[in-house]
Amino acid sequence: MLPSQRVRPIVGITIAYALAGLLALQLAIPPGYVSPLYPAAGIALAGVLIYGNRIWPGIFVGSLIINSEAVLRSGLEGWSWIVPLCVGVGAVLQALAGAGLARRWVGFPNALDTPGAAVRFLFAAAPLSCLISPSLGVGALVLSGSIPTDSAAFSWSSWWAGDAIGILIATPLTLALFGTPREDWEPRRLAITLPMCAALILLGGLQLQIGKWEQQRLQSRFERDARNFSGLLRNRFADYLDVLQSTERIMVTAPHITHGDFQHFADVWLSRIGGLQAIGWIQRATAGQLATIEREARKVPATRDFAIRDRDGENRLVPLRRRAEYYPIRHIAPLTRNRRALGVNVQSIPNSTEAIARTLQNGSAAASRAFELTQELSRTGKLGVVIYQRTRRGGVSDAEHTSGIAFVSVRIEDVFSDILQQYPQMGIAYCLAELVPEGSRRLAGLDHCPSPGHAGEGGVLPWVEIFDFAGRTWSLSFVPEPAYPPLHRGWESWTLIAVGLLSAGLLGTFLLVTSGRTRRIESLVSQRTTELADASARLIAKQAILTHAERIARLGSWETQPATGKTYWSAELFHILGVPPDQATGVDQLLAAIHPDDRETLRAALNAVGNGGTAASVDLRLPERDGSSPIVHVSIEVTRGVDGIETLRGTLQDITERRAAEAHIHYLAHYDTLTGLPNRSLWASRASQALAFARRNQLKLAVLFLDLDNFKTINDTLGHPVGDRLLSSAAGRLSACLRDEDVLARIGGD
């Protein structure tokens, strides 16, 4: 084979495989690595069956092109580049294994035109070979981190089903176009390709629509989950405002509450609402009141180390700076984890000053900017927010009568963690950011908050909500995590995969078997037509010879119209019948010329032809002449003209000598002249009839061959006449032992 002839199929397979695979990946079910309809697998298997195992480089290169494009499109990095190589090897091994199973179980080349061959190929060899590529491909994707482990089962099953459906559709399609031998596939090309192409387009369209529905369903489910999560979060922040309001009320009604009572009050809220870092109260004081506040606080054993201090930018506690008034934290709960914040002058915290000023001015709750809480002993990077609300002496609302500020502090990450503990399988990542004039500042969650139009896992768009909280504008974003699409995957794609696999297999089997049966019938009809044409030609030739023979034989003809009474006899007919030429002619005269015993036979033949028949022929005897009755052969046929008048035509031939000769010839041709037994020819004819009868009725028969031992010795010693008498005697004795239906024949011998 020339190099160009060897390379051309490889290049063709590469192009066909790559194009089919790239189109199939557009049907991938989210998260988007596996297509449930992959015709490239069928093209690969058909290529190996048609061109042999040498076609494997085309499969490998085509797969490499497809999966390299998928890696580039998905933005995978690192070990992900090993995935195309593994998938390519899997595609080659799968095609070679499928071809090997097909050759072993079906036998190729094979027209796949019988139910057994089609079922073994489509429902055994194809599905079993499809176990290879998904095992290698999904394994490589999992090991490279391209897909999560909990998605492996779905990806593997989708991959297997996609390859199986692709083989069930694309392999018969490719074989119909390029399969060998051509005479097995070319007559069936349209019968297979048109329905298979329609099935391919239909399944592809359905998969596209299912993919859109799945995407919409997943997007709707994600938005519903995100909205619920947002609702839980906002309700939690509303709870914090309720706690703040309750703290403000308790400090207005009981401004001299003891440390123990405040702890008991706070414990109720801390046990009911998660995510609270601290509940406390800040006392308003002048410089002259600081010593008194410290002295009163130190009387309580739990706060014996109480001291009013400032906080610097590094979250270190430092001595107070001189100010007109101070706002130290007088009460805080729970004290155990918040002791470091006790006594801190909140005016020294830059992120809180603006919120304190707002609540002092209008008396409403005011949230600070996010910062690391004073309680943090190390730089964890986790931000907290403090919500402040002023408290008033005696319920007076003006700022001059402010007694202090109630506050609630929360660590934002703890808020989300507490909510997520109630919904561990949510599979949603969050990002909370504060919107400020200079941009946005991340508060919790992802390192980078997603853009509204940037699709995440499974093609799901992020959900973004902007809301106000205690005077701050926050942006809350949700994006699906890699586990979210598998967690909320619907059954639509699975249903389509199952239905597609079953329908494609049944359709392929039906088309292969029916088209093959049609091809066989057409071939048989063509063969039978040729045989009939040959037989007709031979019959016409024999008929011409017979016609010529009748011209030189004693053959008479006649014609009559019963309706009009017109009759015609040939001269030879008068001569054969021995009727004077001047005598009247007609059917009655014809009957009168026949032997009386055979007249009813001729009358019955005439009636049969006249009552709807088309032709009849009988052998009849003429009256006795010279001691014997001549035998004539009468043929009758009827024709009907356009006027509806029937015309009977017939011939009559003297076949006396011919019948005698035929009888003698028949005897010589079929019987042994020495023994009188049927000869080899007659025995073969009767044996064929007996075999046909036994086959049709499912009966058994037996053939017994007898040989006379030492018969040659008798001929050589006693002479052939003695041997002939011996054969006649043996034939007579054997015939006497047989039943009427048995046949004894002399086949031959010395």
Question: Torsions phi, psi of 60, nearest 5?
Answer: -65, -45
Q: Which two tokens stand for residue 367?
A: 């949230």
**pLDDT: which is higher, 428 or 292:** 292
Supply the pLDDT for residue 453: 65
- For 387, residues 6+ apart whose C-beta sits below 8 A from its C-beta are 240, 241, 244, 355, 365, 366, 367, 368, 407, 408, 409, 410, 470
Supply the pLDDT for residue 434: 85
Q: Which of 278-282, 394-398, 432-436, 500-504 has the highest mean pLDDT?
A: 278-282
Burial degree of 368 (CB within 10 A; 0-12, 13-18, 19+): buried
Q: Residue 670: is its pLDDT beyond 60?
A: yes
Supply the pLDDT for residue 1: 47
DSSP labels for 283-341? E-B-GGGHHHHHHHHHTSGGGTT---BEE-TTS-EEPPPP-S-B-BEEEEESHHHHGGG
pLDDT digits (tens, 9 = 90+) for 425-470: 567 888 888 888 777 788 888 878 777 766 666 567 888 888 888 8
pLDDT digits (tens, 9 = 90+) for 129-146: 889 988 888 888 888 777
Question: Torsions phi, psi of 332, nearest 5?
Answer: -155, 140
Distance CA 618, CA 598 (A): 10
Supply the pLDDT for residue 378: 59
* Continuous H helices in 121-188: 126-129, 132-143, 152-178, 182-185
What residues does 249 pair with on adjacent strands? none
Q: Which two tokens stand for residue 702?
A: 């037996």
pLDDT digits (tens, 9 = 90+) for 144-169: 777 777 778 777 887 888 888 888 87
Q: Which two tokens stand for residue 594?
A: 């026949």
Supply the pLDDT for residue 320: 86
Mean pLDDT calculated for residue range 87-93: 89
Distance CA 295, CA 285 (A): 14
Q: Name residue 310's amino acid.
A: D
Supply the pLDDT for residue 381: 64
Q: Identify which of 352, 328, 356 has the alpha carbon closest to the alpha carbon of residue 342.
A: 328
Mutual orientation of helices 492-552 and 189-253 as an angle, nearest 10°?
170
Q: Residue 412: is its pLDDT beyond 90?
A: no
pLDDT digits (tens, 9 = 90+) for 560-614: 887 787 888 888 888 888 888 888 778 888 888 888 998 898 888 888 887 777 7
Q: Residue 547: is its pLDDT beyond 60?
A: no
Supply the pLDDT for residue 534: 87
Mean pLDDT calculated for residue range 322-348: 88
Mean pLDDT calculated for residue range 322-331: 89
**pLDDT: which is higher, 242 or 677:** 242
Mean residue pLDDT across the chain: 81
Distance CA 502, CA 188 (A): 23
| pTM for this prediction | 0.55
pLDDT digits (tens, 9 = 90+) for 701-715: 888 888 877 777 787
Supply the pLDDT for residue 280: 92
Supply the pLDDT for residue 387: 93
Supply the pLDDT for residue 407: 93
Mutual orientation of helices 152-178 and 492-552 as an angle, nearest 10°?
20
Least confident of 207-216, 299-308, 459-468: 207-216
Q: Identify which of 723, 727, 704, 706 has the alpha carbon closest to the alpha carbon of residue 715.
A: 723
Q: Identify which of 66, 68, 51 has the alpha carbon closest to the alpha carbon of residue 10.
A: 51
Q: Residue 394: is its pLDDT beyond 70?
A: no
For residue 228, CA distances in Å to 224, 295, 463, 487, 729 come to: 6, 49, 11, 17, 114
For residue 287, CA distances in Å to 292, 320, 360, 392, 402 come to: 10, 10, 19, 20, 16
For residue 395, CA distances in Å to 248, 326, 391, 398 come to: 11, 21, 8, 9
**Number of continuous H segments (helices) and E segments (strands) in the chain:** 24, 16
Spell out the domains of the chain, with CATH numbers in brackets: 3-180+499-513 (1.10.1760), 236-417 (3.30.450.350), 426-487 (no CATH), 553-662 (3.30.450.20), 679-736 (no CATH)
